[in-house]
């Protein structure tokens, strides 16, 4: 690997043309895969974990949601740290924390330790390692087509990790134990660390880069209270209202704080200028909605099959094979699709196919109790999501120059992870709060996901026909 130029402070920066794309992408894509896998594989273990740790479906849902929430609230602060500490250092540190959390979860004697390992350690680790994945891909691939290929591989494996999580988790749980699924995660993390040994950061770190700690705390508290408030719906409505009000107040305080910090000439946690880009704002809405639908469908179908239909972990996982196949077929064709169709057209088509899949999934469960009834709908959802995951990321990242990639990558990943969190929290809360009503609660949760999908479709339709790189 050659090095051809000097960066700030005399640091050597490698020649981008000398880097093998395949060598660069593999550890980055595997990292996104395992993080997405962690967000969905526990869905099929709900019954096993509940019995083993003497907890409830709500308890396991809380652990899953907190994992996604920790990722979301720390993604922006951690993305800023990539500029200060360096992208590769954050990537490696995140993998290490994630591995520790996976091993801790594997030996958890109760729900509290599981939350510590899975929700906290893995959540913090993911928040550290994911921003570098997208920043490095953006920096190393400069034109829209090659960047579409890079994001296609990364986002594709991320989507596959989320869709295949129930299948892989179900197989491991049934064959060995739910604890072995966390050993599997630790093994994959160790493999990624090995593969990333030769990974080179194209930009030198800036240790003197200021960090807005107050802004990080305000944003984290705001998002935490909003999501935690949603989790109280149907059980503690007064507490839910209080938490939501607190969340909105902290987020409003965060916005006012960073705006005043900018006016005083200081660097805020997040530049308000990022929200002045209409194209990026619309694409962020589509990103949030895509992951909300993916994680929402995964949780709702998994809980319904286990608690209402009595499916085993592996039986539930097998059902999701259709979604995984759909994602495989569409996401890995991202580069070819990007050459033939506009980014907007792909996102609109993706939402249309996905919404059709949810409608089919909603209707088929009433028509038949057989497992094959879920296949057409999940296949369409997988195809639709695979088509649009990459273009949405590409539109957001390509809307800003290199110097803002740290900020926008953190915001983009935070918005996506908030979507995952909302999917599990909102759809899951609807399902769990009325789980005794069986098919009716399933239908209400799916209708809610359709409503969110329509919001994403409207945002996609408002995107410009042509997207140009900043």
Mean pLDDT in each 10-residue stretch from start to end of the chain (470 residues)? 41 49 81 86 85 86 83 83 88 95 95 94 92 83 71 78 81 91 95 88 82 89 85 75 92 92 87 87 93 87 81 80 82 73 91 95 74 86 89 84 73 80 76 61 87 95 77
**Number of other residues whose CB lies within 10 A of the CB of residue 265:** 6
CA distance 32 to 158: 5
What's the sign of the alpha-carbon dihedral 153, 158, 159, 164? Answer: positive
Buried b (16+ CB within 10 A) or exposed e, 184-196: bbbebbeebbeeb
Q: Which domain holds residue 233?
A: 212-268
CATH code for position 418 = 1.20.1250.20
Same-domain check for residues 77 and 124? yes
All residues at 6 or more sequence positions from 371 whose CB lies less than 8 Å from its CB, including other chains: 311, 315, 318, 319
* Tally of domains in the chain: 2
Same-domain check for residues 376 and 448? yes
**Residue ending a domain, choose from 268, 286, 309:** 268
On whether residue 151 sits in a domain, the answer given is yes
Judge whether 377 and 361 are in contact, CB under 8 Å: yes
On whether residue 278 sits in a domain, the answer given is yes
Query: In this predicted structure, what is the pLDDT of residue 369?
Result: 64
Same-domain check for residues 157 and 257? no
CA distance 78 to 129: 8
**Residue ending a domain, choose from 268, 284, 314:** 268
Same-domain check for residues 227 and 112? no
Q: Where are the beta strands (DSSP E) in 77-150?
A: none
Same-domain check for residues 224 and 326? no
Contacts of the segment 401-408: beta carbons below 8 A, 24+ positions apart: 401/470, 402/138, 402/139, 404/271, 404/274, 405/135, 405/138, 405/139, 406/79, 406/80, 406/82, 406/83, 406/131, 406/135, 407/76, 407/79, 407/80, 407/270, 407/271, 407/274, 408/274, 408/280
Helices and strands in the chain: count of H runs, count of E runs: 19, 2
Q: Which two tokens stand for residue 203?
A: 């930009």
CA distance 81 to 204: 13
Query: In this predicted structure, what is the pLDDT of residue 334?
Result: 65
Rounded to 5°, angle at Cα 327 from 183 and 165 = 20
Same-domain check for residues 113 and 237? no
All residues at 6 or more sequence positions from 286 whose CB lies less than 8 Å from its CB, including other chains: 347, 351, 388, 392, 456, 459, 460, 463
CA distance 330 to 232: 37
On whether residue 13 sits in a domain, the answer given is no
On whether residue 8 sits in a domain, the answer given is no
CA distance 263 to 283: 27
Same-domain check for residues 88 and 222? no
Same-domain check for residues 186 and 292? yes
All residues at 6 or more sequence positions from 10 whose CB lies less than 8 Å from its CB, including other chains: none
Same-domain check for residues 166 and 79? yes
User: Distances in Å between the alpha carbon of 299 and those of 112, 387, 430?
Assistant: 21, 21, 11
Query: In this predicted structure, what is the pLDDT of residue 437?
Result: 57
Backbone angles phi, psi at 6, to 5 degrees: -105, 135
CA distance 100 to 189: 10
On whether residue 403 sits in a domain, the answer given is yes
Q: Which two tokens stand for residue 357?
A: 């899949």
How far out from the chain centre does Cα 308 lie? 28
Among residues 300, 356, 306, 304, the alpha carbon closest in space to that of 326 is found at 356
Query: In this predicted structure, what is the pLDDT of residue 53?
Result: 92
Same-domain check for residues 369 and 403? yes
Same-domain check for residues 390 and 333? yes
- DSSP bridge partners of 3: 14
Longest Cα–Cα distance of the chain, Å, equals 67
Q: Which two tokens stand for residue 189?
A: 């993390």
Judge whether 256 and 386 are in contact, CB under 8 Å: no
On whether residue 392 sits in a domain, the answer given is yes
Q: What is the pLDDT of residues 71-92, one digit of tens each?
A: 878 888 888 888 888 888 999 9
On whether residue 109 sits in a domain, the answer given is yes
**Residue ending a domain, choose from 268, 283, 305:** 268
Q: What is the pLDDT of residues 378-390, one digit of tens each?
A: 999 999 998 898 8
CA distance 466 to 463: 9
On whether residue 3 sits in a domain, the answer given is no
Give this prediction's pTM. 0.76
Same-domain check for residues 230 and 341? no
All residues at 6 or more sequence positions from 255 whose CB lies less than 8 Å from its CB, including other chains: 272
- What region, left, alpha or beta, does residue 200 occupy, with left being phi > 0 and alpha being psi -120 to 50 degrees? beta
């Amino acid at each position: 690997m050659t090095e051809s130029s000097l960066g700030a402070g005399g640091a050597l920066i490698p020649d981008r043309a000398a880097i093998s794309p395949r060598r660069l992408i593999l550890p980055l894509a595997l990292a996104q895969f395992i993080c997405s896998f962690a967000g969905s594989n526990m869905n099929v273990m709900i019954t096993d974990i509940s019995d083993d740790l003497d907890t409830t479906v709500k308890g396991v849902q809380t652990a899953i949601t907190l994992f996604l929430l920790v990722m979301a609230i720390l993604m922006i602060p951690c993305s800023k740290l990539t500029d200060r500490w360096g992208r590769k250092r954050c990537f490696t540190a995140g993998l290490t924390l994630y591995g520790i959390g996976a091993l801790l979860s594997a030996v958890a004697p109760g729900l509290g330790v599981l939350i510590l390992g899975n929700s906290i350690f893995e959540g913090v680790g993911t928040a550290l390692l994911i921003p570098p994945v997208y920043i490095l891909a953006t920096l190393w691939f400069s034109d829209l087509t090659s960047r579409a290929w890079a994001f296609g591989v990364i986002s594709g494996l991320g989507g596959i990790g989320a869709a295949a999580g129930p299948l892989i988790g179900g197989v491991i749980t049934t064959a060995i134990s739910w604890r072995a699924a966390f050993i599997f995660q630790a093994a994959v993390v160790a493999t990624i660390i090995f593969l990333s040994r030769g990974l080179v950061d194209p930009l030198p770190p800036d240790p003197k880069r200021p960090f807005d700690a107050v802004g990080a705390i305000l944003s984290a508290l705001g998002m935490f209270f909003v999501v935690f408030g949603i989790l109280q719906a149907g059980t503690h409505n007064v507490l839910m209202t209080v938490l939501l009000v607190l969340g909105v107040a902290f987020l409003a305080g965060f916005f006012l704080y960073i705006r005043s910090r900018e006016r005083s000439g200081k660097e805020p946690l997040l530049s308000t200028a990022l929200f002045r880009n209409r194209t990026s704002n619309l694409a962020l809405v589509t990103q949030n909605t895509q992951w909300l639908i993916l994680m929402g469908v995964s949780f709702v179908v998994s809980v319904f099959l286990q608690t209402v239909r009595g499916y085993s972990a592996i039986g539930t996982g097998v059902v999701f094979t259709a979604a995984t196949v759909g994602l495989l077929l569409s996401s890995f064709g991202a580069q070819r699709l990007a050459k033939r169709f506009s980014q907007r057209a792909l996102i609109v088509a993706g939402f249309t196919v996905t919404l059709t899949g949810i409608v089919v999934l909603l209707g088929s469960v009433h028509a038949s109790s057989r497992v094959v009834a879920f296949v057409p709908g999940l296949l369409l959802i997988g195809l639709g999501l695979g088509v649009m995951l990459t273009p949405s990321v590409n539109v957001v990242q390509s809307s800003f120059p290199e110097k803002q990639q740290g900020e926008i990558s953190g915001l983009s990943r935070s918005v996506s992870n908030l979507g995952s969190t909302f999917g599990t929290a909102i759809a899951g809360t609807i399902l769990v709060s009325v789980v005794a009503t069986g098919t009716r609660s399933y239908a209400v949760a799916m209708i809610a996901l359709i409503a969110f999908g329509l919001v994403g479709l409207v945002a996609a339709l408002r995107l410009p026909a042509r997207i140009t790189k900043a």
